Amino acid sequence: MEDVYQPCGSVLAIAYWFPPQTNSGAIRNLKILKYLHENGWNLTVLTIHEKYFLKDNEGDLKILSQIPDSIDVLRTRCFFIERFLGLLNRKVLKKKKIKFQISNSDILKSSTKERPKHKSKTQKLKDSVTDLLSFPDKYVGWIPFATWSGIKFLRKKPVDVIYAVGKPWTGFFVGYVLKLLFRKPLVIDFMDPWIASTWRPSKASLLEKLQSFLEKFIVTHSDFLIANTNELAQDFVERLNVPEKKVDVLTCGYDDADFAYDFFDKSNHSFTITHTGSFYRRRNPKNFLKAVKILLDKGLILPDKVVINFIGSMSINDAGLNELFDDPLLKKIIHQESWVPHKQAIEYLWQSDVLLVVQPGTYLQIPAKLYEYVALQKPIIALAEENGAVGNIIRREGWGETINNDNIEKIGDVLHNYYKEYISGNLNKNKQKYNIEAYNVKNLAKKLGNIFQRLSQQ
């Protein structure tokens, strides 16, 4: 006799990023909600209509097939403030992803032009207006559409839990309004730190105070907090006085299904290093490339024995990086693609020997790519704070080496050691496998389901 399907309960998930978008937030939302559904939860996802990002961002329509038919997806409109103000053409469209067709340096030319050091009064005024109208973030124009869609849905189909994922932080505000109107428990999931993020662009002091107020307000009035790292959870407890029983850690993870394909064996015989994901702001490979160039110039590594894959877009204002991409030796070994489907990105990782993380200046967050890296059991070089979240987990789990991004000499030493191990045939030889089951997204989904179960029974 077949088991009768017994749903655990129903959830409205508010997730701006969702397939066919393929950034790390969208992939993480897809994976954890898919397995949460397999564990017996009825799910409805409130997200943005794909037409609003497919024009300017790369999406993968094939990934839609991973969404179970029984998960309802409510797609809404969005009003973009920057487009309305006419600033998008200058501030955003110039940062469009550029296909790698001519040379590595062409990828950077539109983003490494020197900008004026001092803004005019007119520009400062425009920026202030944009910042004010983009509070709490530039996706604020999604709030009315998402809120109204959520209201219409909840009037027809009550749920047990409202689950909001950030970023963007507008999703938390939508979740709070729906909680207030329908008196359902609200779980907010911080995939990144908000006010505590060291990568946040500086704003006027009034806006900073408003951001801090809103974060504390939402945190206080939610029923449960999920933090992406142990360090972020501790920050909530210490900085916002969140009771420890009100917060738990739910990292990003890996999905076995992503590695079930018959990938080709390594197609080259070179020492291959790969980074997947975008480069932007402080996530800049310049110091890594400086270390590589020093090794090449000294003859410690040979250009015909090394390949560096950068799989992802670049939006960095750094002329020095442009010069490195134009270096004759580095040109021979760098391969860059601004976007590939998720499956192809996994294949690049599969055919690599060492995987690269560039995450300097952050102490509370871990990039989602790290968990896909470790699923492949490859050594990792992380350019990050040794006493931050990335350094702590890599050291604790034995996944590789964490190096301060400014320590070019040590970056070169670690890279050279891995290169020598590869040449001698000893890289990964007799290496103990990583214990990574705790980061399997199936187990993470079970943990999230247990949180929902407790809240729905209170």
Residue predicted with more confidence, 266 or 252? 252
Dihedral-angle region of residue 299 (phi above 0 means left; psi in -120 to 50 means alpha; beta otherwise): left
Q: How far apart are the first and last CA of the chain?
A: 34
Summarised one tens digit per residue, pLDDT across range 379-436 is 999 999 999 999 999 999 999 999 999 999 999 999 999 999 999 999 987 677 898 9
Give percent of the chain above pLDDT 70. Answer: 84
Name the band, by pLDDT with cuts 50, 70 and 90, for residue 96. very low
Whether residues 51 and 68 fall in one domain: yes
123-150 residues labelled b (16+ CB within 10 A) or e (exposed): eeebeeebbeebbbbbbbbbbebbbebb
| Helical segments of 298-335, H only | 319-326, 328-333
Whether residues 364 and 413 fall in one domain: yes
Whether residues 240 and 280 fall in one domain: no
Assess whether pLDDT exceeds 60 at residue 337. Answer: yes
| Domain tally, the chain | 2
Instruction: Indicate yes or no: pTM above 0.85.
Output: yes
Assess whether pLDDT exceeds 60 at residue 104. Answer: no
Assess whether pLDDT exceeds 70 at residue 116. Answer: no
CA–CA gap between residue 237 and residue 38 (Å, rounded): 32
Q: Does residue 204 sit within a domain?
A: yes
- 28 with 370: CB under 8 angstroms? no
Beta-carbon-side half-sphere exposure of residue 40 (alpha carbons within 13 Å): 12
Whether residues 196 and 292 fall in one domain: no
Picking from 431, 411, 432, the residue whose alpha carbon sits closest to that of residue 422 is 431
Q: Does residue 101 sit within a domain?
A: no
Assess whether pLDDT exceeds 60 at residue 142. Answer: yes
Q: Does residue 286 sit within a domain?
A: yes
Cis peptide before 136 (omega within 30 of 0): yes
CA–CA gap between residue 399 and residue 355 (Å, rounded): 11
Here the CATH number for the domain that contains residue 343 is 3.40.50.2000
Largest Cα–Cα distance of the chain, in whole Å?
75
Whether residues 193 and 261 fall in one domain: no
Whether residues 270 and 229 fall in one domain: no
Whether residues 172 and 239 fall in one domain: yes
Whether residues 333 and 422 fall in one domain: yes
Q: Does residue 242 sit within a domain?
A: yes
Residue 136 pLDDT: 86
Three-state secondary structure call for residue 10: strand
Assess whether pLDDT exceeds 60 at residue 1. Answer: no
Assess whether pLDDT exceeds 90 at residue 99. Answer: no
Whether residues 285 and 249 fall in one domain: no
Name the band, by pLDDT with cuts 50, 70 and 90, for residue 110. very low
Helices (H) and strands (E) in the chain, counts: 17, 15
Which residue's structure tokens are 């129903």? 10
Residue 65 pLDDT: 85
Mean pLDDT across the chain: 88
Using CB atoms within 10 A of its CB, is residue 433 exposed (0-12), middle (13-18) or buried (19+)?
exposed
Q: Could you list the residue range(s) of the whole structural domain that residue 189 is in?
A: 9-78+139-253+440-456
Assess whether pLDDT exceeds 70 at residue 325. Answer: yes
Q: Does residue 103 sit within a domain?
A: no
Name the band, by pLDDT with cuts 50, 70 and 90, for residue 5. very low
Whether residues 220 and 277 fall in one domain: no
Summarised one tens digit per residue, pLDDT across range 271-302 is 999 999 999 989 999 999 999 999 999 999 99
Whether residues 339 and 225 fall in one domain: no
Summarised one tens digit per residue, pLDDT across range 7-62 is 689 999 999 999 988 889 999 999 999 999 999 999 999 999 988 765 545 567 77
Q: Does residue 92 sit within a domain?
A: no
